[in-house]
A and B are shown apart, each in its own frame.
Chain A
């Protein structure tokens, strides 16, 4: 007698839903992702120390306190400072003449400091930072 071998069905895993799962994952990541573009200003500051009296005479100085911005010994607003810095046409000056000295009192909030640094950098100035003792200067 001839024995017929039983035909076995080959095992198969259904992967047709994998594509749906993968695309759902992609859609989830697209919807939950937040793209961050950093905005700010580069602190272009020369290294080294300089004699204070010499600096005050040669380079324009911005004095910062928590309530005032003093530029060239005159109290100004941030807009005034921007105007005066632009009027100096700093990008066309030689490197040494582009230096703007920034003195800050210890209690100056970061936002004011940041705005002044950004204004100086945007006007083409090179920042020289000097530390100042005391509170409200």
Chain B
């Protein structure tokens, strides 16, 4: 007797929707990503062991290694910092402004910036990095 072979149906995984899923993932990451506005600026962060992680704020001010002032990644004259920040935070619930200053800039520069931010009604978050710096001499 001839035994007929049973034809097995070929196993098939439908992958037609994989492209859709992948594009949805890309769109999700594009919409939820926040790009660093000051990535192109050269400002060595100050080091301290007494700092914590801070929540992200949408307003950033940077004083770079050359003493130039940047607001939201764009050059900003020191005289107009107060008014520009006041406008930026006017309708925000979170009034925090992240201030990043190059570690070697003198107080005569960053003192005025902190004063201007304070006058604008901002809550200042000083940005640095965790680490120990050379000890201040006795």
- Which residues of A come within 8 Å of B, CB atoms? 15-16, 18-19, 21-23, 25-26, 29, 33, 36-43, 45, 47, 64, 67-69, 75-79, 82, 104-115, 117-119, 121-122, 129, 131
Contacts and interface: CB of A to CB of B under 8 A. Distances in A.
B56 interface: yes
A55 B110 CA distance: 23
A25 B89 CA distance: 36
A29 B22 CA distance: 12
Contact of B15 (A19, A39, A108, A117): A19
Interface string B67-83: 00000000000000000
A38 B114 contact: no
Interface in B98-138: 98, 101-108, 110-111, 114, 118, 123-130, 133, 135-138
Contacts of B96: 42
Contacts of A119: 48, 50
A51 B116 CA distance: 22
A112 B110 CA distance: 12
Q: Which of B47, B106, B125, B136 has the most CB of A within 10 A?
A: B136
What bracket does the count of chain B residues touching chain A fall in? 35 or more
Most central of A22, A33, A122 by chain B CB within 10 Å: A22
Contacts of A69: 136
5 contacts: A23-B18, A38-B55, A106-B108, A110-B101, A115-B50
SS of A interface (majority): mixed
Closest 8 A-B residue pairs measured CB to CB? Answer: A22-B22, A18-B19, A114-B46, A19-B19, A122-B50, A118-B50, A111-B103, A19-B18
B108 A110 contact: no
Nearest to A78: B136
A67 B136 CA distance: 7
B29 A111 contact: no
A109 B48 CA distance: 14
B107 A113 contact: yes
B51 A118 contact: yes
Nearest to A45: B118
Nearest to B43: A110
A108 to B, nearest CB: 4
A78 B129 CA distance: 17
Interface string B57-74: 000000100000000000
A26 B25 contact: yes
B26 interface: yes
